Amino acid sequence: MGGQAGETELPELQAVSGPLTKAAIFLLVRVDAGAEQTVKDLLADLPGLQRTVGFRGLGDGLTCVAGISSGAWDRLYGGPRPAGLHELPVFEGARHVSVTTKADLLFHLRAERMDLCFELETLIMNRLRGSVTVVDEVPGFRYFDARDVLGFVDGTENPTGRGIAAAVLVDDDEPFDGGSYVVVQKYLHDMASWNALTTEQQELVIGRRKLSDVELSDEDKPANSHIALNVITDDDGNEMEILRDNMPFGRPAHDEFGTYFIGYAKSPAVLERMLSNMFVGSPPGNYDRILDFSTPHTGALFYVPTVDFLEEPPAAPPEPETPAAATPTGSSLGIGSLRRSPRS
């Protein structure tokens, strides 16, 4: 629908703020040398592929969010960069260390049915096979009433309504407004050690009641609980929110039980502050107790462009021309024109 004259047409956004679903696939890949145009073509066609598969399950909410890493940005698009795009730092505390994974692209597929995610991923990989190297692939599932495999409800504090856009959409970085930043981490849990705790001990680690999902009071909630260290506020005391779409995953026959963390925010600074609190501690040394039972195996930061950007990326600025050599003066050999460059 067209707006009135003088109105700014809003960009079409990727489905960052989509609702929690019953199924998801998290796919990380590296772009092979020389395959940049193949990848750009796939990213431009991604909305069409999503519609093609999604039509087979109308109402099942199939979406796919694509994110681009700092290392891949210049190779794919060049030109201006999103202001906050960089490699995810490693956060090292006295006891626990985070992981940074070399990945160029994130594909976050989700739907109410795994077959839709599976089919869309198949179409994506049919286009990219031979052009990318798969770094990690994790299928996730809804576990009972949105609980993780540790038994606690996950994502309770997600923003809602208008608060979602305020938390996750860039609004101060033209021409990248409407995009978002996303951090992913794959955690594996030591279930034997976790299950050796009593329910009350587990609640002190998380900061919530296990059955009711009610947050512990400030008096009862330890300073090193997961909830306490993941509440980030600005200088005015306002809470800075992120949108989590975490999913459990696992292979019980292989003793593999995990949580795939995925958090969207308008600035990576919020996500990185949370990770620093968890691994380094706030204050340093007061690390997140959940890390004694959950170990990260991957970690990466991506920028999520708008659909408009993926379909019609701006042309990269031309390379500056090398200036022609100046005609020497002072003698035919130019000896008289030589100057010593000042030290920098």
Would you name the residues annotated as active-site residues?
154
Nearest CA to 182 out of 104, 101, 262 is that of 262
DSSP string, 289-312: GGGGTEEE---EEEEE--HHHHHS
Q: Which two tokens stand for residue 207?
A: 């900061």
Q: If residue 24 lies in a helix (H) or strand (E), which one and from where to where?
A: strand 23-31
172 within 8 A of 166, measured Cβ to Cβ: no
Nearest CA to 58 out of 67, 69, 48, 50 is that of 50
b/e code 291-317 from CB counts within 10 Å (16+ = b):
bebbebebbbbbbbbbbebbeebeeee
Using CA atoms, how far apart are residues 310 and 12, in angstroms rounded to an integer?
10
Integer angstrom CA distances of residue 318 from 275, 295, 314, 315: 39, 45, 12, 9
Q: Is 273 exposed, middle or buried (CB count within 10 Å of its CB: 0-12, 13-18, 19+)?
A: middle
Alpha helices in the chain (DSSP H): 36-54, 70-76, 114-128, 162-168, 191-195, 199-206, 226-229, 268-279, 307-311
167 within 8 A of 241, measured Cβ to Cβ: yes
Cis before 305? omega within 30:
no
